[in-house]
Amino acid sequence: MTAPVSVSNLVKTFGDQTVLGGVDLHVDHGEILYVVGPSGTGKSVLSRCILGLMQPDSGEIELDGQPIPHFGAPEWLSVRRRVAMVVQFPALLEERSVVENIALAARYGRGLRAVQADRMALDLMERLQIRHLAFSDPGALGPGLAKAVALARALAVGANTLILDEPTTGLDPIQAKVVDEAIVEVVRSAGLACLVISHDLAGMQKVADRALMLYQGKVHVAGTPASLATEPDPVWQQFLRGESEGPL
């Protein structure tokens, strides 16, 4: 089966600086892949290249088996309906209720009528255990619940791939747990491919099926959370332990 996301030998430079120096990865259906690493190692650049917001210098990106770096605007419109991104700040429409925020995505992403979109929005909220917030003001939500709503909104578009940028950054442990559980629920139940850009190593250990560390423009280490827990590489160990002294 074709992987929903496949990246091969991806290179991106800015002047003399090589941010991505030949990155390879893939994400399968029903899988959560964490991409971690120190700040400035190209994690966000990688996600922007996958979404077509930034053009790589070379390499290949495939979504559902289709190569994408040279897509034009019409092709990207189709792709972006299948690949949804949840950014660090949810940017919910505060003049609309929670359910309206989600239903609007279903209407414009899937072309549903209002009644169908409302029903889909409520169903998604039920799956994420936030249906009780349907008629709440988004501005009154805590950060964790706001990100759960943003996740439901992304799903309403009809995506089969999710890219999550720092989904638990700035959240307390309880709020982070809400978001982590929501991610697992939607990925497992819908068979989505999920790429998570994060510094949250605790969340990685709880949620990820696989993880990789970007360092100096390349995949430095990769594996399951269990295998990475005992990975002896000194760069990885310094990052894992959060130590100020070491090769980083």
Check residue 118 and give its pLDDT: 96
70 pLDDT higher than 70: no
* Domain spanning 5-88+162-241, CATH class: alpha beta
E-assigned strand segments in 5-147: 5-14, 17-27, 31-36, 58-63, 66-67, 83-86
Per the confidence metrics, is the pTM higher than 0.95? Answer: no
- The fraction of the chain above a pLDDT of 90, given in percent, is 58
Q: Mean pLDDT throughout 180-202?
A: 90
pLDDT digits (tens, 9 = 90+) for 120-151: 999 999 988 899 999 999 999 988 889 889 98
Check residue 68 and give its pLDDT: 79
Query: Are 86 and 151 within 8 A, CB to CB?
Result: yes
71 pLDDT higher than 80: no
Check residue 1 and give its pLDDT: 67
Parse the chain into domains and list their residue ranges: 5-88+162-241
pLDDT digits (tens, 9 = 90+) for 152-175: 998 898 888 999 998 888 788 887
76 pLDDT higher than 90: no
Check residue 72 and give its pLDDT: 66
Check residue 73 and give its pLDDT: 67
Residue 204's pLDDT band, with cuts at 50, 70 and 90, is very high
Q: Mean pLDDT throughout 40-60?
A: 90
pLDDT digits (tens, 9 = 90+) for 2-49: 889 999 999 999 999 999 999 999 999 999 999 999 888 899 999 989
Q: Cβ–Cβ contacts within 10 Å for residue 241, how many?
A: 9
Task: Supply 100's token pair.
Answer: 């309206």
Q: Mean pLDDT throughout 77-85?
A: 77
Check residue 122 and give its pLDDT: 96
Identify which of 74, 12, 76, 33 has the alpha carbon closest to the alpha carbon of residue 183.
Answer: 33
Determine which helix (DSSP H) or strand (DSSP E) holds 22, and give its type and residue range.
Answer: strand 17-27
Residue 69 identity (one-letter amino acid): P
DSSP helix/strand/coil, 62 = strand
Check residue 228 and give its pLDDT: 96
Determine which helix (DSSP H) or strand (DSSP E) holds 210, and give its type and residue range.
Answer: strand 210-215
